[in-house]
Structure 1
Amino acid sequence: AEKRTAKSDPIFRNRLVNMVVNRIMKDGKKSLAYQILYRAVKKIQQKTETNPLLVLRQAIRRVTPNIGVKTRGRSQIGGIRAYSAFHEL
């Protein structure tokens, strides 16, 4: 199966913005989610006078956990791979 990539939003042409909009969206109301995000981006632009997408990316990077998944190898029973989470600091 092919892995699908996220589409970009119509104004900023940025996949991250589209992913955030999909998280904000409730009951399929994507246009309302876009309005909420664009209003927030406009406020960020006015208050910080910097690129709001950089601020958004930095904020998301700060709140996401730095956890990855690592294969521990094959177990003796049935050859099933075991996965364990690890913290990346």
Structure 2
Amino acid sequence: MSRRRAAVKRDVLADSRYGDKVVTKFINSIMLDGKKSLAESIFYGAMDLIKEKSGEEGYETFKKAIENIKPQLEVKSRRIGGATYQVPVEVRTVRQQALALRWLTTYTRNRKEYTMVERLANELIAASNNEGATIKKKEDTYKMAEANRAFAHYKW
């Protein structure tokens, strides 16, 4: 973190199909080695596969999954008098979105399906139904914050 001034937030362009900046951010998080067109085809292919499998619109499932994944609380390490405490803090909206997209990408890549399109579609369907690895990560984060609630008075 810079001591001189705050980092400049760069704004992304809305995606072509849905006109949503969150979709663009997610496509960028899927992207590896600068292959954006491949990442877009993975995402849009997953949206079409969700429509086939579940019958509901893929974009709506994506939005619902992101809302379900966003964490409300997390723990931050705080050093006080030689001891390090895990202090629970509320998560800002921008960080909630960033964590949700990061967790979704990570746990999608760890799934066992054959193609990335299938993995992403199944993980989004699971997350929209409040199940799956990304929801478990959110719940584990929340449990850690609840377990350390006694140190909440060290919040800064």
Are residue 25 (structure 1) and residue 31 (structure 2) matched? yes
TM-score normalised to structure 2 length: 0.41
- Give the equivalent residue in structure 2 for 1:66: 72
- Give the equivalent residue in structure 2 for 1:6: 12
Are residue 40 (structure 1) and residue 46 (structure 2) matched? yes
Q: Deviations over 1:5-49 (max 9, x none)?
A: 321111222212111101100111101100110110001111222
Give the letter for the 1:58 counterpart: K
Partners in 1 of 2:11 and 2:73 — Cα distance? 22
Q: Which has the higher contact order (CA 8 A, sep 6+)?
A: 2
Q: How many residues align?
A: 73
Among all aligned residue pairs of Structure 1 and Structure 2, give the percentage whose two residues are the same amino acid.
32
Partners in 2 of 1:86 and 1:15 — Cα distance? 24
Deviation above 4 Å: which 4+ runs of structure 1? none
Q: C-alpha root-mean-square deviation of aligned residues, in Å? A: 2.4
- Give the equivalent residue in structure 2 for 1:86: 90
Higher helix share: 2
Partners in 2 of 1:16 and 1:86 — Cα distance? 21
TM-score normalised to structure 1 length: 0.67
Residues 51 and 67 (structure 1 numbering): CA distance in 2 closer, same or farther, change over 3 Å?
Answer: same
Partners in 1 of 2:20 and 2:52 — Cα distance? 20
Partners in 2 of 1:15 and 1:23 — Cα distance? 12
Give the letter for the 2:27 counterpart: V
Partners in 2 of 1:35 and 1:54 — Cα distance? 18
Higher strand share: 1
Q: How far is 1:86 from its partner?
A: 2.6
- Give the equivalent residue in structure 2 for 1:73: none
Query: Any idea what SS the aligned residue of 1:11 has?
Result: coil
Q: Please, which runs of 5 or more residues in structure 2 have no aligned partner?
A: 1-6, 75-87, 92-141, 143-156
Q: Please, which runs of 5 or more residues in structure 1 have no aligned partner?
A: 69-83
